Amino acid sequence: MRWRRHADEPRAPARPPDDYEELRAGFTAAVSHELRTPLARLLALLESAELPGTDPAEVVRAAHDEVEQMRELVDDILFLSELETGREVVSLGETPVLPVLRDVQRELAVGADHSAVVIRVSGDESLTVPVRPRMLHVVVENLASNAVRYAGSGATIDLTVGRDASDVVVTVGDDGVGVDPADLPRIFERFYRGDRARTSRGTGLGLAIVKHVVTAAGGHVEAEGAADRGLTVRCRFPDS
């Protein structure tokens, strides 16, 4: 299905050619670097399979994990490319927020139990945001899964929606281990990972995708937190 731009829909301002080429070159270099790591690990695994005493089943399992990591990275890159084709991919229609929050809570229940965290949902049933259902789900799922992965055992994660002045605010917050203050200004950058994130799997694109979706819908994202004080991300959308 192709999305068509409405005649009265404003176009994003053109990016100066030099800036665009610099951004594209930087992104290409980052993608190449991120793919090289799992590829190198996969090659090492395959070479180790011929060594005496190697457990073939364990090698296959580890190789499968590396291939899955590369698949997730490619999927996220393609998704970012889809987002950049135009605002209509993101912001057609109005989506009730609470049903999406509950869907994400259900989908992450097993992972939350495994990580010993609790996910709670609350908010105003009547609130909607100017984002396609799929895109809102991507935003909430990326934020919530990030919290499940990094908040730490015993944390509580709250998925909420409310109104603040002229904005509808979708919030994902936790009371877990938090983030280093030095990392906070950069968490929405593509491929940026804090020290804790570097030790776990992930594409490094989830929060960048969140920011891209929210800003394409006319909103903005803000984050606050500190070490041992949790992390809260608020996605502010214009109230229609």
Domain ranges for the chain, please list them: 17-83, 93-238
Instruction: Identify the pLDDT of residue 176.
Output: 94
Q: Report how far residue 79's alpha carbon sits from residue 190's, in angstroms, rounded to the nearest whole number.
A: 13
Query: For residues 152 and 190, what is the distance between their CA atoms, to the nearest angstrom?
Result: 23
CA nearest to 124, candidates 174, 167, 176:
167
pTM for the model = 0.65
DSSP state of 203: -
CATH code for residues 17-83: 1.10.287.130
Structure tokens belonging to residue 6: 């409405």
Q: What is the pLDDT of residue 159?
A: 98
Architecture of domain 93-238: 2-Layer Sandwich (3.30)
Q: What is the H or E stretch that residue 20 is in?
A: helix 17-48
Quote the DSSP letter at residue 239: -
d(CA 17, CA 162): 40
Q: How many CB atoms lie within 10 A of CB 83?
A: 17
Residue 63 vs residues 40, 53, 81, 127, 212: alpha-carbon distances, Å = 11, 17, 27, 44, 32
Residue 197's pLDDT is what? 43
Q: Round to whole Å and give the CA distance between 18 and 219.
A: 27
Size of the chain in residues: 240
Q: Are 130 and 136 in contact (CB under 8 A)?
A: no
User: How many other CB atoms sit within 10 Å of the CB of residue 124?
Assistant: 13
Q: Tell me, what's the pLDDT at 174?
A: 96
pLDDT for 35 equals 67
Report pLDDT for 30: 53
Q: pLDDT value at position 88?
A: 53
Report d(CA 119, CA 111) in Å as an integer: 10
Interatomic CA distance for residues 151 and 178, integer angstroms: 7
Task: Answer yes or no: are the C-beta atoms of 3 and 91 closer than 8 Å.
Answer: no
Sequential pLDDT tens for the chain (240 residues): 333 444 444 444 444 444 445 445 445 555 565 566 677 778 888 888 878 888 888 888 888 877 776 776 676 666 666 666 555 556 667 899 999 999 999 999 999 999 999 999 999 999 999 988 888 988 999 999 999 999 999 999 999 999 998 899 999 999 999 888 888 888 888 656 554 443 445 546 778 888 888 888 889 999 999 888 899 999 999 876
For residue 193 the two structure tokens come to 């990972």
CA 94 centroid distance within chain? 21
Question: Under a CB-based contact definition with an 8 Å cutoff, are residues 96 and 127 in contact?
Answer: yes
Amino acid 7: pLDDT: 43
102, amino acid identity: R
Cβ neighbours, 10 Å, residue 77: 18
